[in-house]
Amino acid sequence: MAWFRKEKPKVLPAEGEARNPSVRMDGLWLKCEGCGEIIYRADYEKAWNVCACGHHGALPARRRLELVLDEGSFQEMDRDLAPLDPLDFSDSKKYRERAREAAKKLDEKDAFISGMGTIEGRLVSIGTFNFAFMGGSMGSVVGEKVTRVFERAIEHRCPVIVFSASGGARMQEGIFSLMQMAKTSAAVARFREIRQPYISVMLHPTTGGVAASFAWLGDVILAEPKALIGFAGPRVIEQTIRQKLPEGFQRSEFLLEKGMIDGIVTREEMKAKLAQIIGLLG
């Protein structure tokens, strides 16, 4: 037996990490949010931000298009659509300022990137949310761009693929953002007439008005592993129904078991799976 016991010093998390465990370390290494291992950033990025443990980290919107589209096939549309501020809204900050800051930081005009491209040679009308832009919230610009994704598909008689990652409606645009739910859903209905598939892929997280409109109207609804998908968050529901929610509630795996989605697809398999579905239904 030892003469004395040496207490292990308690390692306190760094300031940023304590508040938000998802904060990543800068530089060459980063910490996986799934397994907590320190991993080499270059390897992680090469694996499309998926850790060896299977955890799917956030993937930048343009990287996602690279992941699924044939190289060099993407033709971006409506890049210059920028948000207006119809309500002259301000909370702790003016909406105009908030949008301008996000635009400057990300070099994007709003939270949705869309255009035409090919997947294994098949033409698709495609769009993806950019969660980094104001939490992927849907205002007038996002609604218009989503609508145009379906309109272009009607014109070209081709399938639609939309990747959703959104906190919901953009509250700074009030009723104008809520109107986008009806507008985009109507676009999906018009698209149905050409009898081409609409594949909706829900990423982490897909919530609020986006989940409650076009994201859940897909002919085939896919999700990435462990994505949070739902309308209201679990805390709000718990408070409303005054009941404890089951384990894993609102995660892809739970929703698949309950029949709310059609499949969970890893990033590695995503392109092949989309190509297969388009091949079968397109």
Which stretches of the chain bind Zn ion, using CB under 5 A? 32, 34-35, 51, 53, 55
Residue 129 pairs in a beta bridge with 112
d(CA 277, CA 282): 8
What pairing do the DSSP bridges indicate for beta strands 38-40 and 29-31?
Answer: antiparallel
d(CA 254, CA 250): 6
Nearer to Zn ion, 24 or 183 (CB): 24
d(CA 111, CA 164): 10
**Min. distance of Cβ 250 from Zn ion in angstroms?**
21
Q: Which two tokens stand for residue 251?
A: 């995660």
Nearer to Zn ion, 42 or 53 (CB): 53
Nearer to Zn ion, 38 or 241 (CB): 38
User: What is the dihedral sign for C-alpha 181, 186, 187, 193?
Assistant: positive
**Min. distance of Cβ 123 from Zn ion in angstroms?**
36
**Min. distance of Cβ 31 from Zn ion in angstroms?**
9
Nearer to Zn ion, 37 or 101 (CB): 37
Q: Which two tokens stand for residue 73?
A: 């096939």
**Min. distance of Cβ 41 from Zn ion in angstroms?**
13
